[in-house]
Structure 1
Amino acid sequence: MGRFEFTSVFSPELRLFLAFKESMGCNGASRIYYLRSFDAYCTEHNVRSFDREAIESWVRFKKSSQPGSSPSWMSYIRDLGRWMRTHENPDAYVLAESWKSEFYRPHPYLLSRKEIDAFFGSAADLQIASPWRWQSVAFFGLMQSCGLRTCEARRLQLQDVDLTAGFIDVLWSKGNRSRRLPLNDQLIDVLADCDRISRQQFGQHRSAFFVSLTAAPVDPATTGVMFNRIWNQAGLPLPLGGKQPHPYSFRHHFAYANIERWMAEGRDINAMMPYLSRYMGHATLDSTFYYIHTSPDFMDGYATLVKEGQGMIPEVGFA
């Protein structure tokens, strides 16, 4: 950790804390960025005590400099306070959880059954001189059926996809968490067709399961471009303002569809949420409950969109 320079009175604690996090497999650059920002703030303002006034003043300063940002970065200073309490500073202040309440997530675009069917019909008929011609249904179908993040689908390696046993391994995703997800028969067939054509085009050892024309892993920008191209080719309208459809909408739909299915089956939603949280790779149940409380009229309006199932690619069952 010597490569990260700190200048404040908390320099020793910051270095030891980051070394501890690194030993636990937490190597994210975001944590280092925000703790360096905290260190610089303490140096500039001559902060010498890790107390409530100092910590909350920095949090207010950081919030004002990046309005509307996710509150996830607050966990870094909160974790530092907890660590300091157990390492020779029992009076260190731990940032209150209530600071999270000031953040409001934007409402997602809710995909309808008609839009999903039209999208995958268009993806299956995509005429383009790139691997997206045969990858589109598999890539976006995997996001919808397994609720993957876009980055998780992009980063899948060949060894992470076991079509014989019928599962994928999502390794070292957000927060360095990993999970194994089962695949249903239809999705296995779609992925197998995609893999067969890719092997014909690029050989047995490509850089990722989904690749670009140069055999490199697909990048985030191209994923959005291809989503919009398929959407437009399907003749689906784009809203003139407000919420817009995008690849991540498939992950939202996965969550909504499962919640609504469980409600229709009369299951206890609170009892089922830990399964959904683990499946989607959430760190806490708060992230999962967001899908219930996103829209005031969600429970009434969205039920009609998913009552017939997941769409063209059926959901992966778990309970």
Structure 2
Amino acid sequence: MRPTEHGFVGPLAGELEEYIRFKASMGRHGATRVRVLRSFDRHCLEHGAVRLERGVVERWIAHRIDANPGGCRSWFSYIRDFGRWMRLAHDPDAYVLSDQWKAGSPRPTPYLLTDREAALFLRAAGTLESPSPWAWQSRAFFMLMACCGLRTREVRRLAVGHVDHKARSIDVVDSKAGRSRRLPVGDEVAAELLECDQRSRERFGDDRPAFFVTSTGNPVSPGMPGVVFRRVWTRAGLEWPQAGKRPRPYDFRHRFAFANIERWTRDGVDVMAMLPYLAAYMGHAGIDSTLYYVHASPDFMDGYADLVADAERVVPETEEP
């Protein structure tokens, strides 16, 4: 068999190629996804696997783990998502990787930002006094996390050319597991990004290495958003917890997820139908990761178990909302 466009050659090459095209149609061009599924494709070829069955998938996983016992296992999400897509598109009996196979690494418990805290914080971010670019870029930086649910590193790595002021969209390129996505942004966020860009161009010219920079024009370091976050928190007149869980920039991403789901619940919207859109917007490989972000919301716990139990019937992912 001749290799497909993405190099698949096994019995499931056609389905794998179709799946990759499906993801690409939504702007999901992650090279890691293709590389991982090529490995699975070779496994299928070697073992003559013509269907997506449990034994085939789990033997391949066990082989990869044996080859790299201490490695990151985020690639589990790719084969799980492929299984869900197969159920929808080709084979209702296709195996979807079970929950016993998890990527591991315990996640920290989020600090649950209230509406009041978020509002006061973003207001204070717009009046931060600093000789550095944070004086005009802190509000735009944290609004991308609060209003778009971006990861901290996605905001730090945002390039100037990845912000389209005319189309009011941003490109998140080569993020977690090599995935990329294009996101529309609201009017308020778009206006903030435009003002931030204009002021940064006045200070650093048109060739700065990142959208958000330091006083020397260099990209923002990983630890700096946390430092600025605490300064803004204090400026907002919010009390910094002396014990227990303390707030951090990433908590805006948690809030974005469960706030959307709680709003849909209040409005009577079918949450299960909307979860794939939210997962795609947040850059998740599937809805399992999205559900994690909402589990900590005390107002949503009553419905959380039902969502998890019903998650198997959800379409993998669709276009961004």
Q: Aligned partners of 1:195 and 1:247: how far apart in 2?
A: 21
Farther off after superposition, 181-190 or 273-282: 181-190
| Deviation readout 1:176-223 (Å, 9 max, x if unpaired) | 111111122111111111111101000111111111111011111111
Q: List gaps (5 residues or longer) in structure 1.
A: 1-23, 28-49, 63-70, 80-94, 302-317
* Secondary structure class of the residue paired with 1:205: coil
Q: Would the alpha carbon gap of residues 169 and 73 (structure 1) be closer, same or farther in structure 2, given more than 3 Å must change? A: same
Q: 1:96 to 1:124 in 2, by over 3 A?
A: closer
Letter matched to residue 73 of structure 1: R
Residues 292, 298 of structure 1: 8 Å contact kept: no
1:25 aligns with 2:27: no
Give the Å deviation of 1:298.
Answer: 3.7
Q: 2:189 aligns with which of 187, 190, 193?
A: 187
Identify the match of residue 140 of structure 2 among 134, 138, 141. 138
Match of 1:238 among 237, 240, 243: 240
1:242 CA drift (Å): 2.4
C-alpha distance in structure 2 between counterparts of 1:276 and 1:96, whole Å: 22
Q: Check 1:164–1:56 CA distance in 2 against 1; reply closer, same or farther (3 A cut).
A: closer
Query: Counterpart in 1 of 2:73?
Result: 73
Corresponding residue to 2:150 among 124, 128, 148: 148
Quote the residue 1:46 is aligned against.
Answer: none
Per the alignment, residue 173 of structure 2 pairs with 171
Question: What pairs up with 1:38-53 in 2 under 5 angstroms?
Answer: none
Amino acid paired to 2:280? R
Aligned to 1:38: none
Q: Amino acid of the residue matched to residue 25 of structure 1?
A: A
In the superposition, the TM-score normalised over structure 2's length comes to 0.65
Bigger-Rg structure (1/2)? 1
Name the structure 2 match of 1:21: none
Q: Is the 1:166–1:188 Cα contact (8 Å) retained in structure 2? A: yes
Aligned counterparts of 1:239 and 1:283: Cα–Cα separation in 2 = 34
The 3-state SS of whatever aligns with 1:98 is: coil
Whole-Å Cα distance in 1 between the matches of residues 31 and 127 of structure 2? 43
RMSD: 3.7
Tell me by how many angstroms 1:160 deviates.
Answer: 0.3
What is the CA distance between 1:262 and its match in structure 2?
Answer: 0.6
Task: Sort the Cα spacing of 1:242 and 1:56 in 2 relative to 1 into closer, same or farther, 3 A.
Answer: farther
Distance 1:99 1:292, change over 3 A: same
Cα distance in 2 for residues equivalent to 1:104 and 1:225 = 24
- 1:299 pairs with 2:305: no
Query: Does residue 1:199 correspond to 2:204, yes or no?
Result: no
Match of 1:272 in 2: 274
State the SS of the aligned residue for 2:240.
Answer: coil
Q: TM-score, normalised by structure 1?
A: 0.65
- Deviation at residue 26 of structure 1 after TM alignment: 2.9
d(CA) in 2 for partners of 1:55, 1:298: 42
1:201-216 correspondence runs (5 A): 201-216=203-218
Q: Count matched residues.
A: 239
SS in 1 for 2:170: strand
Contact 1:144 1:250 in 2 (8 A): yes
Q: Does 1:129 align with 2:131?
A: yes
Counterpart secondary structure, 2:32: coil
Q: Measure how far apart 1:100 and its partner are.
A: 2.6
Name structure 2 gaps, 5 residues minimum: 1-29, 34-57, 80-96, 303-319
CA distance in 1, matches of 2:104, 2:172: 32
